[in-house]
Structure 1
Amino acid sequence: MGDAPPLFYLEIAFRTLVVFIWLIVLLRATGRRSLAQLSAIEFAIVIALGSAVGDPMFYPEVPLLHAMLVMALVVGLQHGMALLIRRSERMETLIEGRPSELVHGGRLRLSELEHAKLSREDVCETLRNQSVRQLGEVQRAYFEQNGQLSLFTYPSGKAPPGLPIVPPWDLEPPSIVPPGTIHNAPLACLSCGALAAGGVVPGRCSDCDQSLGFTPAVSDPLGQK
């Protein structure tokens, strides 16, 4: 139970109530977007508020006014940053980054994946969560500033064949067509998904210059199992 006098438990309840009400007031001032969708700056604000809120709730040597001032300053900084972001596109890019086009015409843009610090597996997993079976279905995929993936696919039945991403490669790796052999159907690069016409299988992709190999491009990898 600790060595604190019983009256201190009432003080803890009072401190918690005051800090909680003050926090609600401040969060209401930040607007709905801050609660529903956290940017990098807003995530930092949450961490700072969490640090400022905890101690004054049960440490008697921490004055409530000090903690409330810290919380108000943190939220004020958030308002100031939000104002800068709204008024300056350059500041928005500096603070929140820029969107990245991860997929273009059924092909992974490896340089953009590297810029966004994402792996091919990260993107394929997200695409599978949105019912994409092969990369040829994807016209464009953008990694937005808020961390969401915006996906634009071809209309049903009009997608060209592409690199299969189901089943997950950890469960069932795609077959590799040996380089130098003859293959009369389109092939997809295992690195970026770029298509190669039928004929002699190349040893290196002409789009990404990688040599992971090629696999047959498919329209529905699950329907062909």
Structure 2
Amino acid sequence: MPDWNAVFVPSTPVLEIFLRGTITFLVLMAMMRAAGQREAGGLGITDVFLVVLVAQAVAPGLVGESHSITDGVILAATVILWSLVLDAVAYRWPRLSRVIKARPRLLIEHGRLNHKVMRRELMTRSEVTVQLRLHGIEDISQVQRAYLEPNGMISILRQNRTETDEPARPEVL
């Protein structure tokens, strides 16, 4: 017969779970903001490994000695709560939004690379030209403005055009 208390009754004090989740979430958010935007775009295999390793590294600090389902639910609710709170704060107070949320960064203006942004995001010229080619642009002089977006993608406004170009999608055979 299952021990229902062990399954559903929290094995760790709820306040401790909440504090562990809060501190870990806020510290990881700060670390991700400091790491820059470029890393948020697409996940390669090393990125997936990094996510798994970070999750493994913080798991003991998040859960402590907890074992019940309720402990996990409380922890998940804490992380979701803080995500919603930060979104609400950024929406309500735009000045705080600049600290909480990433903003688009001007990467190219009138065909000239912004080397300061490239240095900050650790982007090489060849990485930028790859992104331009994905948008069907062979010459940087064709770009009026290009932004490194908060999700890590690059949006491009061509010279003499106002709409953005979508990256080319691979054709399915």
TM-score interval (norm. to shorter): 0.5 to 0.7
* Residue aligning to 1:126: 131
**Counterpart pick for 1:139 among 144, 150, 155:** 144
Aligned residue runs from structure 1 range 178-217, under 5 A: none
Determine which of 93, 113, 117 is the counterpart of 2:122.
Answer: 117
Q: Which residue of 2 aligns with 1:71?
A: 76
The alignment partner of 2:138 has SS state of coil
SS at match of 1:74: helix
Runs of 4+ in 1 over 4 A off after TM superposition: none
Tell me the equivalent position of 2:105.
100
CA 1:115–1:89 in 2, change beyond 3 Å: closer, same or farther?
farther
Q: 1 CA distance for matches of 2:100 and 2:127?
A: 24
Task: Work out the CA distance in 2 between the residues paired with 1:78 and 1:152.
Answer: 31
Structure of greater Rg: 1
How far is 1:88 from its partner? 2.2
Tell me the TM-score normalized by structure 1: 0.42
Match of 1:75, SS?
helix
CA distance in 2, matches of 1:144, 1:125: 16
In structure 1, the gaps of 5 or more residues are 1-6, 9-14, 16-39, 56-60, 157-225
CA deviations 1:123-180 (Å, max 9, x no partner) are 1111111111111110110112221211011248xxxxxxxxxxxxxxxxxxxxxxxx
Q: Partner of 1:82 in structure 2?
A: 87
SS state at 1:72 partner: helix
Tell me the equivalent position of 1:4: none
Residue 98 of structure 1 aligns to a residue in which SS? coil
Partner of 2:155: 150
Contact 1:100 1:116 in 2 (8 A): no
Q: CA RMSD in A?
A: 3.2
The percent of aligned pairs where both chains have the same amino acid is 23
